[in-house]
């Protein structure tokens, strides 16, 4: 389906809808990852669309996927998603191995992603999974699912405005593991 912006309206296959926002979410992922985290991001977007339809908000989310070999390739993929594919926000999905060199590569990728954010003045939500943060593959899978899903919802919230996540500030919310809650004195 081709989507065309048209004088404040959106034209989808000949049908004109007014007051429909179109947002493009870029998702950069890697071949190195042992888990296909894209499917969790895609599910979060689908679930978000269903929830917004229930409350009467029309937002058309387009997904642009860019797969690269490993985490060190993610900064360029994210930049291309902004520059060449006109994405409004990007979710970067990567997995770090458990060896010291893997952690170094992941750190360097993170620095690169931060540079892209500053260069483009747009958010990239970094979703990195570390193979040694879980005791079992099942636990690692669940961390990847929860972290990817939650960060994708955060990306969609940021598209709505800078204050959308404000009610959750200082609440000890974690993506991937259980929330720790706020400190109350």
Q: Is residue 14 part of a domain?
A: no
Which residues make Cβ contacts (< 8 Å) with residue 153, sequence separation at least 6? 44, 48
What is the pTM (predicted TM-score) of this model?
0.84
Q: Residue 153's domain is classified under what CATH number?
A: 3.40.50.960
> Under a CB-based contact definition with an 8 Å cutoff, are residues 157 and 50 in contact?
no
Domain ranges, residue 116 = 19-168
Q: Is residue 30 part of a domain?
A: yes
Q: Is residue 173 part of a domain?
A: no
Residues 124, 105: Cα–Cα separation, whole Å:
18
Average pLDDT over every residue of 119-139: 96
* DSSP label at residue 12: E
Q: Is residue 2 part of a domain?
A: no
- pLDDT of 6 > 70? The answer is no
Which residues make Cβ contacts (< 8 Å) with residue 149, sequence separation at least 6? 40, 41, 43, 44
Count of CB atoms situated within 10 Å of the CB of 180: 10
Number of domains comprising the chain: 1
Q: Is residue 13 part of a domain?
A: no
Q: Is residue 108 part of a domain?
A: yes
Give the pLDDT band of residue 178 (cuts 50, 70, 90): confident
């Amino acid at each position: 389906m081709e989507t065309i912006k048209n004088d404040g309206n959106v034209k989808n296959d000949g049908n004109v809808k007014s007051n429909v926002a179109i947002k493009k979410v870029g998702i950069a992922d890697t071949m190195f990852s042992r888990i296909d985290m894209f499917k969790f991001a895609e599910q979060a977007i689908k679930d978000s669309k269903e929830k917004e339809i229930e409350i009467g908000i029309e937002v058309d989310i387009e997904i642009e996927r860019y797969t690269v070999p490993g985490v060190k390739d993610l900064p360029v993929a994210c930049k291309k998603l902004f520059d060449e594919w006109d994405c409004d926000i990007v979710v970067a999905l990567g997995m770090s191995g458990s060896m010291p060199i893997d952690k170094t590569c992941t750190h360097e990728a993170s620095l690169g992603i931060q540079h892209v954010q500053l260069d483009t003045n747009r958010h990239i939500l970094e979703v990195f999974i570390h193979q040694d943060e879980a005791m079992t593959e099942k636990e690692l899978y669940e961390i990847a699912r929860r972290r990817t899903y939650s960060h994708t919802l955060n990306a969609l919230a940021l598209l709505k405005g800078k204050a959308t996540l404000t009610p959750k500030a200082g609440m000890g919310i974690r993506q991937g593991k259980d929330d720790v809650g706020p400190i109350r004195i």
